[in-house]
Structure formats: structure tokens, C-alpha cells
Amino acid sequence: MKRALEIAMALCKRFEGLRLKPYYCPAGVATIGYGTVFKPDGSKVTMQDKPITAKQAEDWLSSHLQRDCLPAAVRYTPSLINNEQAIGALADFIYNLGASRYKTSTLRRRLNNQEWDEAHHEIRRWVRANGRILKGLQLRREAEAEYLPE
């Protein structure tokens, strides 16, 4: 799953950006690094946390993707187990929105049924935060869609 991790890391870095001090993401959640909400020890990021290094941010991102997001993408989308590009893009989607949302999504169902056109449509629907359409999420979903089967 080396290629899947590379794709997920690149997408997360591109769309999360790097902030070494805690900040609130557009959804109003305390975040640090490359969109990290939960530290490796499982505790939530708070606005009182000390700054981290760029190396820590990258390590935390890689750890979360390998431990949680990539396995969830494979577990919930077994039809794509041999498509590392798609698994990488889905790991980014899961990193951004959470495994539970992906697990119950129409996107997941479309992918497992190999309904590629419909899956491309579905992934592009996930562009809202707090009820507002965000340009950054639109761009992220377009980038993820590029890696899905046609």
C-alpha cells in the first residue's frame, strides 16, 4: 500500500496545509499540523496545546493514515483492494470526513457496486462545512475523483 499512502499524504498535505500552532478548522474544530484533530495518544487537540514541529506533523499524518484511514478504505471498499490510487484518494476522504461517514455513504455503495459514474457524482457532493459550500472542499473532491476508476 505504499502508493496509496503516498497519494493520501500528498492530498492531505495539499488540502489541509501545515500549521504548527493549534487553530480552528472551517468546521470549528481545534486542529494542528496537517489537519490533525486527535493526537497519536488519542487525546483531542486543544487551543492550549504547544506548537509542534513540521516533522511531528508529518509523522502524525502518516501514522493516522496508516493506522486508521487506509485500513478503513480497504475494509469498507474491498472491491478496490488492488487499486492503490483509489484507496489513497479514499483514505484522504476518510481523513477529512471520518470513517463512519464513509461507511454509511452512498459513495461507498456506488464504488462497491462498480457504478463509477455515480461514484464520481457522489464524491463531489461532500463539499459542505457547517452547511456552507467551501471552495477548498470542492477542489479536494475534484482531486480525489481523479483517482477513482472511470
Contact 63, 40 (CB under 8 A): yes
CATH of 2-145 given 3.90.1530.10, 1.10.3470.10, 3.40.50.300, 1.10.530.40: 1.10.530.40
Grid coordinates representing 10?
Answer: 500528498
Mean pLDDT within 114-129: 97
Grid coordinates representing 89?
Answer: 484518494
**Model confidence at 80, in pLDDT bands (50, 70, 90)?**
very high
Q: What local confidence, expressed as pLDDT, does residue 55 receive?
A: 98
Q: Which of 128, 121, 129, 127 is nearest to 145 (CA)?
A: 121
Q: What is the mean pLDDT of the chain?
A: 97
pTM for the structure as a whole? 0.95
pLDDT tens by residue, 20-77: 999 999 888 999 999 999 999 999 999 999 999 999 999 999 999 999 999 999 999 9
Q: What percentage of the chain has pLDDT greater than the value 90?
A: 95
The answer on pLDDT for 130 being more than 90 is no
